[in-house]
Amino acid sequence: MRGKPRTPTTVMVKVIDISGYLATALERFNQKEGEKASAMTTSYKWGYVETPKGIFGLCNEGVGDNLPITADNPLEIGLHAEYMKDGSGHMELFPSLSMRLRDTELKALPVLEEVNLAKFIRTFGGRLESNYTDWRKALEKALTPAKKEASESQVTSGLTGSMPGR
């Protein structure tokens, strides 16, 4: 995989702005006793792709649910508390909180930019390349009108990753 160029795609990802959710999560998190976090972060950029089969959410590591985001199947994003003290900081290893966004909530968020899937998913090693390939194939299939209706399991069968914290 090293040095091999990615197969091009026309799939575009809408990168979402979740800063409002992060600010609310920080306020809620800091209401508890103990050390106060200085920020909440997701560690990733998040986005979604709208298709005739539904909205699919993923992070810039190519990890996300292989089923469309709905009211019954929200996009779950783990939030990590960050702490700063005396000029140095650390972030919690595991999510402190999680946020769940239904399809309508996801579409209501501000879109920071729209980028090609090949640029959205980071490049570094075989795992990310595999994630890119799986998403490219599944999303291209979901975006292509089928002559005969494919089942949802056929559309998303190439995806093997799951969201962190699931």
Q: pLDDT, tens digit, for every residue of 102-113?
A: 999 999 999 999
Instruction: Using the predicted structure, report yes or no on whether residue 166 has a pLDDT greater than 70.
Output: no
Is residue 21 assigned to a domain?
yes
Domain holding 54, by residue range, is 12-156
Other residues' Cβ atoms within 10 Å of the Cβ of residue 98? 16
Q: What is the pLDDT of residues 35-71, one digit of tens each?
A: 899 999 998 999 999 999 999 999 998 889 989 999 9
pLDDT score recorded for residue 123: 79
Is residue 163 assigned to a domain?
no
Q: Give the pLDDT band of residue 1 (cuts 50, 70, 90).
A: very low
Is residue 137 assigned to a domain?
yes
With a CB cutoff of 8 Å and minimum separation 6, the contacts of 24 are: none
Q: Which residue type does 56 have? A: F
Is residue 162 assigned to a domain?
no
In the predicted model, what is the mean pLDDT of residues 129-155?
77
Residue with tokens 């969201």: 163
Task: Give the CA-trace dihedral at 38, 101, 114, 135, to 10 degrees.
Answer: 110
And the tokens for 24? 């609310």
Average pLDDT over the chain, rounded to an integer: 86
Count how many domains the chain has.
Answer: 1
